[in-house]
Structure 1
Amino acid sequence: MTTPQTARPGLVVVIAFVVMLAGRFTLTRAGLDIPVLNDVRVPLFLVLLLSLALESHHVGHHPAKGSEALYGLLALIGYQGLSVLWAPPGTVTGPVLGDLCALAVLLVVYFRLAAWDRDRVTATTLTLFHAAAWVYFLAAASGRGHEANGRWAALGGGPNVFVRLMVLGMITSLYLYLRHGERLIWLVPIPVFLFGAVASGSRGGLVSLGITIGIALLAIRPRIDFGRIVKPLTLVAVTGAVLVITAGPLIAGFVQQRFVEATLGEGYASERDVLFQMALQIFWQRPLLGTGLNGFPSVSGLNPDLYVHNLPLSIAAEGGFIGLALLLVAFLGLWHGYAAVPRAERSLEARTAAYCGIFIAATNLFSGDYYDARMMWVMLLLAAVHPAPDRVPAAARQGSSRGPGG
């Protein structure tokens, strides 16, 4: 019989992942219309909270190290919710308030899971991300979900959602390679997911991938074993070459138009430059408190459905200097929790979660709103929070799998 000391999180982690991945998915996308349940977050969060309550009752209390990471995030979210008080009259704030509440609940759930058994929770989450990347890639490869301009997407999400899962699939491929004794088969998906990332047409996603690779190389540069990486790099290169030769013609014209002609030739930026400039202008007009929650569309005079597509600039425009200060506090809390563990003692799971969070953080400089940042916050939280020493599972104390990374 499993005792509270040896019980490990299981199904609740899968439910939490489904909730995180589902985002704002509604049944109307599937052609259904069921009042109250249209927003799948309603039943999913109820199931998640119930399952967590039952598991917590069985296992008991589990203290955590790195609690400041959660407190910083909740302070930022709380302030954003409070800013509804000075939003312009007529501003639609209900849905955004709902997003912030859902985000807060999701972070508290993952904090409790990390306090219980962070490395197991993270390992399961990373594996699920890998499986989700395959599901999205195969759905898009079948032609379902493509946009009219040819950009790849799948399962109701746009190309910017698709590219995030493709790159997370690449990161988790490397994680599974290191986790399972460096078996080369786990590296084969990397060129496949890179192909999907390019097919998404997301320039911000590809730039974010480059940023993440640059940070990783800076972290591991002193410890790179070139003899160890020759075979993996050769396999990835050969697989990638085969993929380009066989499937490249399918997207060659799209790549030429999207990346070469539109981006390099015409300097097309999908109006990001206009949105960023307007956000800065609003920030300087209201530097202390900003416009208030979801005030950007009202004050900017642009399309009511437009948002800034840059997390720091969005917080600056709608939360002012105070919002930016709390954003900085949130990141510092996460960094403090991660750095509190000596480099040599950081688990492979913690390091991989950190790189996943860094990638999604970079994508939030080009796309996404407050709720779209949830994966970033969750992965960085999993990197920063871990069970208190007297609660660390025995398997974790014996040492997790090691691999490159900081």
Structure 2
Amino acid sequence: MTGEIRRRPGLVVIIAFVATLAGHFTLARVGFTVPVFNDVRLPLFAALLASFALEIRWAPRGRQGAAPILLAIYAFLGYQAVSSAWTPPGALVSAALTDLVAIALLVFVYAQLAEWDRDRVVALTMGCFQAAAWVYFLAAAAGLGRGPAGRWAALGGGPNVFVRLMVLGIFSSIYLYATRRRLGWLVGVPAFLFGAVASGSRGGLVALALTVVLAAPAVLPGLRRGGAKPLLLVIALLVGGVAIAGDSILAFVQQRFISTTFEQGYASGRDVIFQMALNLWLQHPLLGTGIGSFPVIADLGFGVAYIHNLVLAVAAEGGIVGIVLLLNSFYQFRRQFTRVPRAERSLESRTAAYSGIFVAAACMFSGDYYDARLMWILLILAVVRPAESAAPRP
């Protein structure tokens, strides 16, 4: 038999997704309190590295498309780690450094996999988002893990984590319909949109709206070519869901989004946190106060461990240098993405790009450095082009 069979990434992508999705989950919630070892990232990352080492040997040679954006991201993460040298006593340095190392590892793995077979990695990742979104949606619908005031959440994550998964579930539903042309994949769109609203996450919904506005010029022509059936199905399911939910969802929307937000001006303390972060940056404009220092310096009380805005967090703890490195990472993404003519961008590249933009926008309202890991991963999947050669390594 002549010729070589091309191998494609498989199980390693699923393991990478699970390791990424796990977040800060620890086994302390089930009574196992041994430091370090109760962090589920330890066994998951070990499994990821093992599977990566076994599968990457089949990747083609000459892979270097990830270099520009990868170097930019590593420069940013490296500087953030170095900033721990000037943090004040009591800063949460060890936890922050652990998160940075975890991000660097995930970024490296996904970059290598993208260079191997980007479209395959995106397809599997979107399938994983679809499955995870359904699991979270059904768990929240059953009342497992809901937050205060009835806000939907599930499996140990808060409403802001939940809304991100719901929106990425929507994107995965559209992607799977576009690639397989089966209307059944669109059932998730109204379900996940309902879950996103039920999360009560105002920042997540704003991020979704911004992403829709940016994506509309590219997505609408494809929807028109697909005919009216997909749109009618989504509308019918959405109307049916609202009818079933009845007054409960309408009352929640009235209380959370209209009364609390617009009438009372409640911002969940974000205004105070953002102002404090801005003041820290103005006091230490060049280098910032060092990573993990905000909770100690701000002293805003129990539970306020991060700034909930990626740009302000970098400004306060990394100063102008950190901001420049962060913006350079975004610039490298834009430069590599726009280098490919619009007509030649694959569906996988565009799906990853809009998903990454959504997570980036959501990072302006909630989360810490580690919560931005999906942003980095998706932006890499959007711009890294697979190696031209498909010949596997011996």
TM class, shorter-length: over 0.9
Q: Distance in 1 between matches of 2:386 and 2:4?
A: 14
Distance 1:151 1:392, change over 3 A: farther
Question: Retained in 2: the 8 A contact 1:310–1:366?
Answer: yes
Structure 2 counterpart of 1:246, one-letter code: I
Larger CA deviation: 200-209 vs 36-45: 36-45
5 Å-filtered alignment, 1:269-308, equals: 269-303=267-301, 305-306=303-304, 307-308=306-307
Amino acid at match of 1:187: L
Name the aligned partner's letter for residue 72 of structure 1: A
Report the AA paired with residue 324 of structure 1: I
Partner Cα separation in structure 1 for residue 275 and residue 157 of structure 2? 27
Q: Which amino acid is 1:308 matched to?
A: I
Q: Is the 8 A contact 1:286 1:320 kept in 2?
A: yes
Which residue in the other structure is 1:317 paired with? 316
> Is 1:266 aligned to residue 264 of structure 2?
yes
Q: Does 1:366 align with 2:351?
A: no
Tell me the amino acid that sits aligned with residue 390 of structure 1.
S
Deviates more, 1:36-45 or 1:192-201: 36-45
The two structures have a TM-score, normalised by structure 2, of 0.94
CA distance in 1, matches of 2:226, 2:187: 17
State how far apart, in whole Å, the 1-side matches of 2:142 and 2:173 are: 22
Aligned AA for 1:362? A
Contact 1:65–1:386 (CA under 8 A) maintained in structure 2: yes
The change in CA–CA distance for 1:34 and 1:83 in structure 2 (over 3 A counts) is closer
234-243 or 367-376, larger mean C-alpha shift: 234-243
3-state SS of 2:200 partner: coil
Unaligned runs of 5+ in 1: 394-406
- Other structure's SS at 2:148 match: coil
CA shift, 1:228, in A, is 3.8
Bigger shift: residues 305-314 or 76-85: 305-314
Contact between 1:64 and 1:386, CA under 8 Å: does it hold in 2?
no
Residue 357 of structure 1 deviates from its aligned partner by 0.4
Matches within 5 A, 1:53-202: 53-59=53-59, 61-181=61-181, 183-202=182-201
Tell me the TM-score normalized by structure 1: 0.92
CA distance in 2, matches of 1:189, 1:83: 43
Q: Provide the C-alpha distance between the structure 1 equivalents of 2:3 and 2:167, rounded to a whole number of angstroms.
A: 38
Q: Structure 2 vs 1, CA of residues 130 and 225 (structure 1 numbering), >3 Å: closer, same or farther?
A: closer
**Are residues 95 and 232 of structure 1, via their aligned partners in 2, closer, same or farther at CA, if it must alter by over 3 Å?**
same
Q: Which runs of 5+ in 2 are unaligned?
A: none
After alignment, is 300-309 or 41-50 more displaced? 300-309
Is 1:332 the counterpart of 2:331 in the alignment? yes
AA aligned to 2:372 is A
Which residue number corresponds to residue 404 of structure 1? none
Q: 1:41 to 1:169 in 2, by over 3 A?
A: same
Q: CA deviation at 1:257?
A: 1.4
Instruction: Give the CA RMSD over aligned residues.
Output: 2.0
Task: Go from structure 1 to structure 2 and tell me whether the alpha carbon gap of 1:139 and 1:31 turns closer, same or farther (over 3 Å shift).
Answer: farther
Asked if structure 2 preserves the Cα contact closer than 8 Å seen for 1:117 and 1:387, the reply is yes
State percent identity of aligned pairs. 55
Q: How many residue pairs align between the two structures?
A: 391
Provide the secondary structure at the position in 2 that maps to 1:83.
helix
Instruction: Go from structure 1 to structure 2 and tell me whether the alpha carbon gap of 1:209 and 1:74 turns closer, same or farther (over 3 Å shift).
Output: same
Secondary structure at the aligned position of 1:37 is classed as coil
Distance 2:355 2:58 in 1: 31
1:244 aligns with 2:242: yes
Preserved contact between residue 62 and residue 115 of structure 1 (Cα < 8 Å): no
